[in-house]
Amino acid sequence: MKLHEYQSKAIFSKYGIPIPNGRVAATAQEAKQIAEELGSRVVVKAQVLVGGRGKAGGVKLAKDPAEAAQLAAQILGMEIKGLPVRKVLVDEASAIDQEIYFSITNDRAARKPVMIASAAGGIDIEEVAANHPDKIIKSHIDPLLGLREYQARDVAVAMDLPRENVKDFVKIAMGLWEVYKATDATLAEINPLVITKEKKMIALDGKMLIDDSALFRQPELADMRDTDEEAPAETEARKFGLSFIKLDGNIGCMVNGAGLAMTSMDVIKLFGGEPANFLDIGGGASSEKVAAAMRIILTDPNVKAVLFNIFGGITRCDEVAKGILAAMEEVKPKVPMVVRLVGTNAEEGRKLLENANMITAETLADAAKKAVAATQKGN
């Protein structure tokens, strides 16, 4: 789960990391009022969960409250990479001397957290990593020991930070480690972390990703999820415990198991079709779940056929078939349905579906071919 900049910075601040004075606004009037309170030049920043806001014109400097209001109105009407801007952050502007990149994230291959820093901050860090790998400093953190101050000092020295700022940096690093740990973050990033003309260090921007598997113990963070920023079908699917991702094709997929769901998409593509979604109904596959999944798939007007691919292991195919029948009764789909049931009680399952006006298939390849053919017939 992604957090907005204003949410991330509020968390940073709680752990002693200095951030600019400022607040979030949903209207131009609010933005003006915040600028008046700050009584200085301000930066108006679009709050959307994508990168490249600056390049898209979503970050602007205002010299007075009137200009802040005008810029806020302009930015609040924008769409950035398809996402409408609903909020802006109005921050006190800083006089910047140096920009640093600093983050703590999971290094999957090393199975450890890693601290990443670069004196070449402010811009796309992946670009720096690709073109100037020598400018990126990495230091792994023992997950049982936690970040130690000497490691942060070493990173500061390796970045050639001004001596007078090393202590500040260590404090910020220790703060960010506490943020990362306390929030179950998979990424806690400050880019840029700036040294101002007054030689103070401030986290000018913030980005956080939270581990979805840890949300059970992070209720406050779970409440921060911005469902305006995802496809409505994905929000709906989450309610039913379904794993769903919307894609651009026209063959809806309903599969049990994530690996098999991905594979079903791949095989559709292999035989000339395009999947409309990824959907894992998980184990059990009760009729309620199947019905919810069917409703979600069919809300997509692009869907011209639906492919069910169920491997009955512990889950019995006849039970899934009953679920499908109950769901059909409720949802009354108008597009062709291709069903493939294999494994435990597949024969009984197929018999149940015989009279349900569905296209049945033996193999996955066969099912994919039939689904592709069904979409072409419709056109």
Partner 1 sequence: MSILVDKNTRLLVQGITGNEGLFHTTQMVAYGTNVVGGVTPGKGGEWVLDGKVPVFDSVKTAKEATDANATVIFVPARFAPDAMFEAADAGIPLIVCITEGVAVQDMMRVRSYLDQKKTRLVGPNCPGLLTPGEAKVGIIPGNIAIPGNVGVVSRSGTLTYEVLYAMKNLGMGASTCVGIGGDPVNGTNFLDVLEMFEHDPKTEKVIMIGEIGGNEEEKAAEYIRAKMTKPVASFIAGQTAPPGKRMGHAGAIIEAGSGAAADKIKALEAAGVKVAKHPEEIPTLLQ
The residues assigned a catalytic role are 101, 189
- If 0-12 CB within 10 Å is exposed, 13-18 middle and 19+ buried, where does residue 329 land? exposed
- If 0-12 CB within 10 Å is exposed, 13-18 middle and 19+ buried, where does residue 216 land? exposed
132 binds partner 1 (CB under 8 A): no
- As measured in angstroms, the least distance from the Cβ of 267 to partner 1 is 5
164 binds partner 1 (CB under 8 A): no
Please identify, among the stretches 3-11, 60-68, 325-333, 358-366, the one whose residues bind partner 1 according to the rule CB under 8 A.
358-366
The shares of helix, strand and coil residues in the chain, as percent rounded to the nearest 5, are 40, 25, 30
- By CB under 8 A, the count of residues binding partner 1 is 49
Using the rule CB under 8 A, which residue among 57, 79, 258, 354 binds partner 1? Answer: 258
- As measured in angstroms, the least distance from the Cβ of 274 to partner 1 is 8
186 binds partner 1 (CB under 8 A): yes
3 state DSSP class of 207 = strand
112 binds partner 1 (CB under 8 A): yes
**Cα angle vertex 362, ends 361, 368, to 5°?**
55
Please identify, among the stretches 29-37, 80-88, 159-167, 180-188, the one whose residues bind partner 1 according to the rule CB under 8 A.
180-188
Using the rule CB under 8 A, which residue among 133, 134, 314, 334 binds partner 1? Answer: 314
Task: Give the other-Cβ count within 10 Å of 68's Cβ.
Answer: 28
The answer to whether the Cα torsion of 202, 205, 211, 215 is positive or negative is: positive
Q: Which is nearer to partner 1, 66 or 130 (CB)?
A: 130
343 binds partner 1 (CB under 8 A): yes
What residues from 17 to 76 belong to the interface with partner 1 (CB under 8 A)?
Answer: none
Q: Which is nearer to partner 1, 133 or 259 (CB)?
A: 259
- In angstroms, the CA 167 to CA 163 distance is 8
Name the DSSP class of 332: -
Please identify, among the stretches 17-25, 191-199, 212-220, 298-306, the one whose residues bind partner 1 according to the rule CB under 8 A.
212-220
The two tokens of residue 124 are: 């796309």
The answer to whether the Cα torsion of 208, 214, 218, 223 is positive or negative is: positive
Note the residues at the interface with partner 1 (CB under 8 A): 106, 108-109, 111-113, 126, 142-144, 181, 184, 186, 211-214, 216-217, 243, 245, 247, 255-263, 265-270, 275, 278, 280, 311, 313-314, 342-344, 363-365
